Amino acid sequence: MELYDELKWRGLINDITSPDLIDELNHGELTFYIGTDPTADSLHIGHYSSLLCAKRLQQHGHHPIMLVGGATGFIGDPKATGERNMLTPEVLDHNYQALHNQIENLWGFDMVNNLDWTKDLSIIDFLRDFGKYFNVNYMINKETVKKRLDSGISYTEFSYMILQAMDFLNLFEKKNCRMQIGGQDQWGNITAGLELIRKKHGADVKAYGLTMPLITKADGTKFGKSESGTVWLKKEKTSPYDLYQFLLNTEDSKVIEYLKKLTFLSVEEIERLEKALEENAGAREAQKKLAEEVVRDLHGQEELDAALKITNALFRGKLQDLDDEQRRDAVKSMPKIQTQAMKLEDLLVSSNIAKSKREAREWIKGNSIAINGEKYTDPNMIVDSSMAYVDNVLILRKGKKNYFAFVFEPNVD
């Protein structure tokens, strides 16, 4: 299977700007770029598929450049829903440095900052040397801009397309970069860059654009910084254990798509896992493999082993086997309930885990309630902060899978 066919099979091709690109991908050595703005201090799982696509291209002899938009981050790529909040120079600089380090450590791509070729540009030069090449009618017909015409769009965000086109032109001229890749929502910006290159250098230049479908959740919403429950690639923001659990809980309808887009597993292995899913979905073999591959690729075998240790400890109720750091990871994603010292049966009722004291006593006496991995059968037992599992948090399990983290309020003298 040639590269383009594999990218299609993995669901990584939404559109290309020319059929000539197919042969270039299969047999050429393209220098290409992918960009992101420093609007946060970490990439997230929505970026991961795109960056892995860049890595796949690199493995086939192409040459990636990673652009972190120190300039475009000041402006903000237009969203369909409204204007972005403007970030301060201090925040953007912090985010830029964080992303630079993250990308360098994970992928080692060559990196550039578009602030380098825009910071000294005067407004007159911008309008004469670049703005002159953009027809307003052409710009307002771009999909994202068109969606904002009724609600309104500032000139600042309207100009983002020109700035990104300047990036493509600069890299084409300085680094012989002949392709830009990005999510399908970047089609308008990518084609604007190609138009600028052609107007400056002639219609017959060999430059291309490739867009990838946005990776989405089962409900159709995309993974992004503005979405709730963002899954970050930085372990301090989303721990390897939380990432493992997130991927382990992938819906059957999405897991094969994620295996194709988020792992380097072979076609044959993914097809085997797809068959295993059809034959025995309950075994969750595909989900386990997805979680293992992504956590290992991002954070290494040691962090995967720690995530598996926490997972197994929770599944088997052997919570005492974990060290304090692993305990904190274990409780981080559990529902948090503020509490004070009280009887066990009252704890279940006050937290709405049980509907009544009678139901609470039935669960307790029926061996269905465990605290920090140990079963307790006395409804009148006092549960207090001395029983904390880590810090001031206690873990209560109802049945086999339902975990709750009770946070004891500090004593007030």
Cα(170)–Cα(165) distance, integer angstroms: 9
* 225 belongs to an annotated ligand binding site: yes
Burial of 106 (0-12, 13-18, 19+ CB in 10 A): middle
Q: How far is CA 380 from CA 201, 357, 397, 407, in A?
A: 82, 11, 17, 20
Q: Are 68 and 74 in contact (CB under 8 A)?
A: no
Amino acid identity of residue 131, one-letter, is G
Helix (H, G, I), strand (E, B) or coil at 318: coil
* 320 belongs to an annotated ligand binding site: no
For helices 285-299 and 301-316, the axis angle rounded to 10 degrees is 140
Question: In whole angstroms, how large is the CA radius of gyration of the chain?
Answer: 26
* 48 belongs to an annotated ligand binding site: no
Residue 90's CB is within 10 A of a number of other CB atoms, namely 8
Contacts of 263 (CB under 8 A, 6+ apart): 270, 289, 290, 293, 294, 297
Cα(195)–Cα(202) distance, integer angstroms: 10
* 164 belongs to an annotated ligand binding site: yes
Q: Which residues are annotated as a binding site?
A: 33, 160, 164, 225
Q: Which residues are annotated as a binding site for ATP?
A: 225
Q: Which residues are annotated as a binding site for L-tyrosine?
A: 33, 160, 164
